[in-house]
Chains A and B, each alone.
Chain A
Amino acid sequence: MSLRRRFADREDLLGIAMLAPVLLLVGVPVVLAIVLSFSTATAGSLSFGWAGFANYAAILTDPIFRRALANTVIVTIGSQLLVVVLATAAAQVFRAAFHGKRTARFVLLLPWAVPVSLAAIAWTWIFDSTFSVINWTLKVTGLLHGWLYWLGEPRLALVAITIVQAWRIFPFATVIVLAGLASLPQDVMEAAIVDGAGFWRRLFYVELPLLLPVVAVAVLFGVVYTATDLGVVYILTGGGPANTTHVLPTLAFQRGIQGADLGQGAAIAVFLLPFLIVVAIAMLRLARHTEVGST
């Protein structure tokens, strides 16, 4: 009797003891960021004054901010759609056995392994208006008449950013989908084959629905990585041309650090939170409720 109570007590204590470091390390900075967004703090000084909702009011009426918000949504959704398509397709390819699979898998993993900043630097050359190897290849194969100013035209620049984001995330997503495929209940798959369903039918009516939770998780990570990413956009376009390709993290950096208005920068960054929380909850619900036959 007393033994069990001791266990119970210790459980609570243990629980708190084990959670405390995590909460501290992680909770404090977040609270700090939110507090900053309500302040008039500037970078380069230690001053701190209360601004109420002034920062939020300022950014909501700023067309550049609204554009950055839109861009963040466009790039995140666009790149993740691309990632889903690429990853599910690639997973189909890589679950099969073929010669050189190990090598192919190695190449596939490279975009995930390379430091983002160095990869982004490489991509600036690949998309460069003067030196772009993509343009050269398209021109030589006759597919391009004229020229593509990848990073110089706002819409093309967004496309370029989306491509790079999809490129660096889809290897990781492929691995996740591969995992999902491996864990699919074999009996359902066999039943489908026995029922005479062809490859495409099986893919769309049996596999994909079963894979939904796994794909949802992959998408969730992709969304987080893309929406909070500063490096790719900063290195590729710096938010330009003329502030048309900013995403929230880069705008926060430009306003908060380069422009020294820390309060406003914090407000812009914090704005991401509700958007991401909504997406995260949606994805996690999706992942949990669509499991087939689990306890």
Chain B
Amino acid sequence: MKRVALYAAALGFMAFAGFPFYWMLITAFKQNRDLYVGAFDTRHVPWIFNDPPTLEHVRLLFGQTDFLRWIANTLIVVVAVVVITVAVAVPAGYSLARLTGRWGERLGMGIFFTYLIPPTLLFIPFARLVALLGLQNSLGALILIYPTITIPFCTWLVMGFLRSVPWDIEEQAMIDGYSRLAVIVKVVPRLIIPGILTVVVFSFTLVLQEFVYALTFISSVDRMTVSLGVPIALVRGDVYHWGALMAAALFTSIPLAIVYNLFIDRFIQGFTLGAVKG
């Protein structure tokens, strides 16, 4: 009985999380005349293929837009941002956890709070900065600005995680003659690999979802990221190319979900210790 309830519940959750994706899947391969039928008409079933499926939307996406280019751009930006985030957030988190004492705790919270200002206004002062640096219309602008979204949260995360990692190993290292800087560089990263992994996954998600900054700083279609390029190319005026849009959604989210699924166990470990003790 309990087993049945378990499977039923699992199915229920899968259905709730997944039904929009099922809809995306069939829409990506549906002919348009199969899609543009009002739901008022109950004789037409929207959940199945009433006309034979077609590859035209996928062909549109891959053939007539720069989709693959956008994915490449997104990967470049993500990797760079993740590297920067780890490079800045880890030392900052370490410093807040170990070095700056009491007021470090308050500062840590403060950093987290800056996370709360939406980019929908900040893009204007940032546009000025980007122009001054001559980074207009380049991936460099994103690589510079995205860390402002990822770093506050990740710093806080690392800080919390370090609090739960005992002092002793570092103390031992210092007694053995390492300078503080050497300790940071050599010993600490190994201690918080799960924490770093969490930072990586989180930064990945944040960067992938971002739209407003990408819109502000990138004008050329061949330099866009996926979340920017897809709506721009596939929502033209008042015409939505639903099939291609949904195909893009699927091709972006499925690989990512697979990757997340693989790392979920490490992620869980990293997150709990970091967040709760923070």
Contacts and interface: CB of A to CB of B under 8 A. Distances in A.
A90 B99 contact: no
Interface in B168-225: 174, 179-181, 184, 205, 208-209, 211-212
B209 to A, nearest CB: 5
A230 B181 contact: no
B55 interface: no
Interface string B102-116: 001001010111111
A128 B38 CA distance: 10
B208 A266 contact: no
Given A113-B253, A121-B245, A29 B260 contact: no
Contact of A230 (B120, B155, B249, B269): B120
B155 to A, nearest CB: 6
Interface string B236-274: 000010100110110011101110110010011101110
B86 interface: no
B50 interface: no
B124 interface: yes
B188 to A, nearest CB: 12
Given A10-B180, A19-B95, A19-B100, A224 B116 contact: yes
B46 interface: yes
Contact of A25 (B147, B180, B254): B147
A18 B181 contact: no
A125 B42 CA distance: 17
A152 interface: no
A255 to B, nearest CB: 11
Interface residues of B, number: 94
Given A29-B125, A109-B261, A230 B111 contact: no
A264 to B, nearest CB: 11
B134 interface: no
Interface residues of A, number: 100
Given A22-B88, A33-B121, A122-B23, A136 B39 contact: yes
Contact of B231 (A90, A121, A139): A121
B272 A109 contact: no
Chain A CB within 10 Å, residue with most, of B3, B121, B180, B249:
B121
A38 to B, nearest CB: 14
A280 B110 CA distance: 10
Contact of B121 (A128, A227, A252): A252
A256 B252 contact: no
Interface string B89-105: 10110111001100010
Given A29-B117, A113-B260, 7 more contacts: A19-B100, A94-B10, A117-B209, A133-B39, A139-B42, A262-B124, A273-B117
Interface of B: 3, 6-7, 9-10, 13-14, 16-18, 20-21, 23-24, 27, 36-40, 42, 46-47, 88-89, 91-92, 94-96, 99-100, 104, 107, 109, 111-118, 120-122, 124-126, 147-148, 151-152, 155, 174, 179-181, 184, 205, 208-209, 211-212, 226-227, 230-231, 235, 240, 242, 245-246, 248-249, 252-254, 256-258, 260-261, 264, 267-269, 271-273, 275-278
17 contacts: A25-B147, A27-B114, A32-B125, A33-B122, A106-B258, A106-B261, A107-B21, A108-B18, A110-B21, A112-B205, A114-B256, A130-B39, A175-B271, A179-B272, A228-B116, A276-B113, A280-B116
Interface of A: 7, 10-12, 14-15, 18-19, 21-23, 25-27, 29-30, 32-33, 36, 43, 86, 89-90, 93-94, 96, 98, 100-102, 104-119, 121-123, 125-126, 128, 130-133, 135-137, 139-140, 147, 167, 170-171, 175-176, 178-180, 182-183, 213-214, 217, 224, 227-228, 230-231, 249, 252-253, 256-257, 262, 265-266, 269-270, 272-273, 276-277, 280-281, 284, 287-288, 291
